[in-house]
A and B are shown apart, each in its own frame.
Chain A
Amino acid sequence: MPAGGYYALLFGVPMVGLFVLSFLRAQGFEVVVDFSFANYEKIATSPLYQKLLVRTIRVGIVTAAIVVPMAFALSYLMRFVFERRGQLILQLILLSLFSGYLVRIYAWRTILGKQGLLNSTLQWLGLIDEPLAFLIYSDYATIITLTGILLPLAVLPIHSAMANITRAHIEAARDLGSRRLHLIRTILVPMALPGVRAAFAFAFLLAAGDFVTPALVGGTGGLMIGNVVADQFKGIGANWPLGAALAFVTLACVLVLYVVIVRAIRRVTMW
């Protein structure tokens, strides 16, 4: 079977099923076939879901805004500054992918916790008297942890795209009077744009869709739309149709935003 067939069967069909489900109604433990827009109306009128959606998108954008430039800088360093050691650095960056997702989150807890590595070091150096509580169980912790987890994934496509850029390109641009920021904006980013776009997709979509990291390090405010979608599919108090509608509203918002942002990046980096 061609790849498209697998994709249609394993992704397309379940998505269509989920989409149909979003127009049905939950009654007790049953799903009642009673087509309506009630679930979408509930989402549109509920301050809870609107706040969650905004919060989820904010976490996704902030994470991507940190991860993509970091991945770009790392890729640049590997490609042009530490050219000989580039592969070694890449292997070291990718090393973290060999550990489990949960293990990496708990590792960040060990680093950021009240009695964690960072607070202990700062106290030992005499820079703080009390542990910095905001380092863990906060939005900061969520974004730092997501950045740590997603950075290797974002480095890969940008590094690959940069392989097509040669020193000759850079030198030619410099000869024509292009300075550093101008060079990045008009030469490097446009030439590496497919990689930047893929890196942004990884960082933004995975951060916005994640609900495990915020639950484990985000503290009392660590709720994302993904948690609420998951709650709607649990046994007691579940509402599968509402969960499906929430998933599709989130998907639509995130995709629209993704397209807008990628177009904006392309426009900014054009002449």
Chain B
Amino acid sequence: MNELVKGILNAKFTADVTRRHFVQGASGLATLAALPSLASAEVGGPLNYFGWDGEHGANVAKEFLASNNIQYQPSFQSSGDEALTRFNTGGRGTIDLLTPNKDFQKTILAAGVELFQPLDMARIPNAAGLFQAFREAPWLIKDGQVYGVPLIWGDEPCVYNPAKWDAMPAKYTDFADPKYQGELVVLDDPFGNIWLFAKSIGAEDPSRLTAAQLEQAVAALMTVKPNIVTIGASFADMADVLVRGDASIGIGGWAYQAQIGKEKGVELKVASPATDGTYYWSDSYAIALDAPNVDNAYAFIDFMTSAESNAAIAAELGSGCTVEKAYELTDPGLRDLFPYDYVRQPGGGILGTQVVFPPQEPDGDIVPASAWVEAWQAFKLA
């Protein structure tokens, strides 16, 4: 079956097909592959998703959802940590699936805050096919229990319009050059932006800043502010600004934005400042505590973790795949964007060690996340 699928997908890649056709084809095949394992599961009825737009996988899982009579009800978060707010303000007992990123999930698990339930990995047999770094992801494991199944991964590069720019500068602070006036858009994300500029000014660990370092990072951001057109409310909003031509460079973007641009007839490229680089992330499927439709959630996660589904969702979102066999099914142009050597090693290399979120509480001289949020608000107001 796998050879057949691989052959068909390869044929599709070499043919002149659209991404949508690929996704539809792959999802159909993946549904066929997943059906036998679902025979004994009690699936059907609602499945409530709260997470990133796109990662709900409704396109990829279309036939799977229909054939299992699952009514998928996705709603979307505007920031990576919104799930906790939703959960604590009436969402508990109504949400099944979440898509936390690694830093958020690590912080929540370390703090012992109630949000995720430990997973019964026997119900997700396809998870055995994950890259080693994702099978044993330290940010998903607490007290020997696993709390998430990685879906995609990637970095936060600059997304730019090649009609205006040939390349990105070496450092984020270089964006202060007046030639970028009226050309920049950033995401409304205190942690990502401050982290990038703290890195740019030479902070040793940009996630752990003293008050003075935080001030310096925000001062560096301030030098760039005159060139920023707007602060995107979400990745999709940022992409909209780029597609409309209101800005030509998105700092701290997502390769998915280039896909959105492509769909709307605007070519966008991705690259990171060569000296400063960027940070890496990975988003996982997790099941919320007191989820009302656990069987559907397990069946869905297992389906989405098959090689074919994982390749399809990675292609759809312009991101790295997390399943080893999905790598072969992924377009070479896409997979060359990401350093897969990291995820083939235990711990995930930089993916496992790099931290973006600051600590929740002060730690000696190190200021907490709330100070970052306040500094970001002051930056926006200035």
Contact = CB atoms under 8 A, between A and B. Distances in A.
B35 interface: no
A236 interface: yes
Nearest to B83: A235
Interface of A: 26-29, 48, 51-52, 55, 106, 109-110, 113-116, 133, 136-137, 212, 215-216, 218-223, 227-228, 231, 233-239
A38 B191 CA distance: 26
A219 B230 contact: yes
A10 to B, nearest CB: 13
B380 A114 contact: no
A28 B111 contact: yes
B244 interface: yes
A239 B370 contact: yes
A223 B246 CA distance: 19
A249 to B, nearest CB: 15
Contacts, number: 106
Contacts of A237: 81, 190, 358, 360, 368-370, 372-373
Interface in B76-110: 79-85, 89, 104, 107-108
Contacts of A223: 377, 380-381
A219 B82 CA distance: 23
Contacts of A110: 244
B237 A216 contact: yes
A122 to B, nearest CB: 16
B233 A113 contact: no
15 contacts: A26-B370, A29-B84, A48-B381, A109-B240, A113-B245, A113-B246, A115-B246, A137-B230, A218-B230, A219-B231, A220-B225, A220-B231, A223-B377, A234-B84, A235-B82
B85 A238 contact: yes
Contacts of B160: none
Contacts of A48: 374, 377-378, 381
Contacts of B205: none
B113 interface: yes
Contacts of A221: 380-381
Given A228-B377, A237-B358, 13 more contacts: A48-B374, A113-B245, A115-B244, A116-B244, A136-B246, A219-B231, A220-B380, A223-B380, A233-B89, A234-B81, A235-B104, A236-B84, A236-B104
Contacts of B191: 236
B59 to A, nearest CB: 22
B62 to A, nearest CB: 25
B34 interface: no
Specify which of B188, B225, B373 lies most central, judged by the most chain A CB atoms within 10 Å of its CB. Answer: B373
A133 to B, nearest CB: 6
Top 3 A-B pairs, shortest CB-CB distance: A235-B81, A237-B369, A235-B84
A234 B361 CA distance: 15
Contacts of B237: 216
B182 interface: yes
Given A29-B113, A109-B244, A236 B81 contact: yes
Contacts of B360: 28-29, 236-237
A10 B111 CA distance: 33
A28 B80 CA distance: 17
B153 interface: no
Given A29-B84, A113-B244, A215-B188, A236 B357 contact: yes
Given A48-B374, A236-B360, A219 B81 contact: no
A80 to B, nearest CB: 42
Contacts of A218: 230
A106 B246 CA distance: 13
A231 B85 CA distance: 10
A133 B182 contact: yes
A234 B107 contact: no
Contacts of B231: 215, 219-220, 222
B289 interface: no
